Chains A and B, each alone.
Chain A
């Protein structure tokens, strides 16, 4: 099956610093990638949709200046949490859509756990 890789899997940072999380589709081209956030014992919350070569579309209530998304190639999207605070500590998960849309199956990364001290 298709593989989506996230890096880093875990990151700890100090409050006020920025953290970048990478999402790569390893064996297919992904025209669209999605970023989700998940707090403990809660469901996944969609943050934004990123299309290759264009600006990301953010869900209501998600600050685009705080969560910078770049989708510069068909295999890589990055999420940068700027000026991180403890309340940004969460599990961040990306998913990728295979070019052409297919049958609607999304492939998810293994997630990146961010802890802000």
Chain B
């Protein structure tokens, strides 16, 4: 699975959009981009995933560049509860029986 690069930390103001970048320049054509987050001392939580097209759900939006070498997770109106470590993961299959390898992630701090 391709490696990802994320900034170690970011912060944003409560109520503003949080845009978390991820670089995956070695991604191959059939690899998916997954985002998870981990709130302190809890298990990770699935946020969203995509292959080529932009995706949106009730939690976030995922914007994938046309060349698929990078993506951005957008939390449209960040709240204090969104403070967490966000992991961008590239995975070879859209199959939950296939292992998920975590990188170092981005620690997002949402400021009051």
Residues of A within 8 A of B (CB): 4, 6, 31-32, 34, 36, 43-46, 49, 91, 93, 95, 97-98, 101-111, 113
Q: A103 near B102 (CB under 8 angstroms)?
A: no
Tell me if B45 counts as interface (CB < 8 A to partner A). Answer: yes
Give A105 Cβ to nearest chain B Cβ, in Å. 5
Residues in A with CB closer than 8 Å to B38 are 44
Residues in B with CB closer than 8 Å to A36 are 102
What does DSSP make chain A's interface, helix, strand, loop or mixed?
strand
* Pick from A45, A95, A98, A111: contact of B42, CB under 8 Å: A111
User: What sequence of 0s and 1s flags, for each residue 69-111 of chain B, a beta carbon within 8 Å of any chain A beta carbon?
Assistant: 0000000000000000101000101111111111111000000
Q: A111 near B41 (CB under 8 angstroms)?
A: yes
Task: Given A43-B105, A44-B102, A104-B49, answer yes or no on A97-B96 (Cβ-Cβ < 8 Å).
Answer: yes
Q: B96 near A46 (CB under 8 angstroms)?
A: no
Q: B96 near A106 (CB under 8 angstroms)?
A: yes
Q: B41 near A91 (CB under 8 angstroms)?
A: yes
Give A45 Cβ to nearest chain B Cβ, in Å. 8
- In the docked arrangement, what's the CA distance between A113 and B101, Å? 21
Residues in A with CB closer than 8 Å to B34 are 104
Give B39 Cβ to nearest chain A Cβ, in Å. 11
